[in-house]
Homo-oligomer: A and B are copies of this chain.
Amino acid sequence: MLRLSKFADYGTQVMAYMAKDGAVHSASEVASGLDMAAATVSKILKMLARENLVASVMGAKGGYMLARPPQDISMAEIINAMDGPISITECSGDSSCTRESLCSTRGNWQVINRIIQGALEKVSLAEMIKPGHQAGKHHVSGQHIVDTSAISRRGKSA
């Protein structure tokens, strides 16, 4: 299915909520604003704070605020904060692979991984919350959007 964890999804929603203004929001306020359980939102915000995507203010009247303007925060950062590094297969990350003698796909998985990472780095939180891309309205088709030349160039089948 190639799905993000729910945390990454929630994290994006929380960040989107906070991107509306630069004010300090408590976890419980965000929770009611997004209609989510307070404990869950609190956990999400702690995770985001640890990765410095939001700044925290302790004490009464404390809360969280975006650490940077939304156009300087990429979706890749949010996903990384919530789910850890993107790695679509076990072998596409840094850890060693015991099957390299049997399987020659590793290097190419790593290339694909980077393409996806790159795509997510290019989308900022500010862009992510822009309306105007309702389902079916856009004409992105997967054509001419991605250049996989790092894989195909050295080949033939183009």
Contact = CB atoms under 8 A, between A and B. Distances in A.
A18 interface: no
A150 interface: yes
A35 B103 CA distance: 11
Given A90-B9, A129-B105, A119 B122 contact: no
Contacts of A5: 1
A110 B87 contact: no
**This chain: copies in complex:** 2
Interface residues on A, range: 35 or more
Given A13-B105, A85-B1, A146 B119 contact: yes
A112 interface: yes
Contacts of A123: 108, 112, 148, 151-152
A131 to B, nearest CB: 5
A111 to B, nearest CB: 6
Interface of A: 1-6, 8-9, 12-13, 16, 33-35, 71, 75, 79, 83-91, 94, 99, 102-108, 110-112, 114-124, 126-135, 137-148, 150-152, 154-155, 157
22 contacts: A1-B87, A2-B3, A2-B87, A2-B88, A3-B87, A4-B88, A13-B103, A71-B157, A105-B129, A107-B131, A107-B138, A111-B133, A111-B138, A112-B123, A114-B141, A114-B142, A115-B145, A119-B148, A122-B152, A123-B152, A127-B155, A130-B151
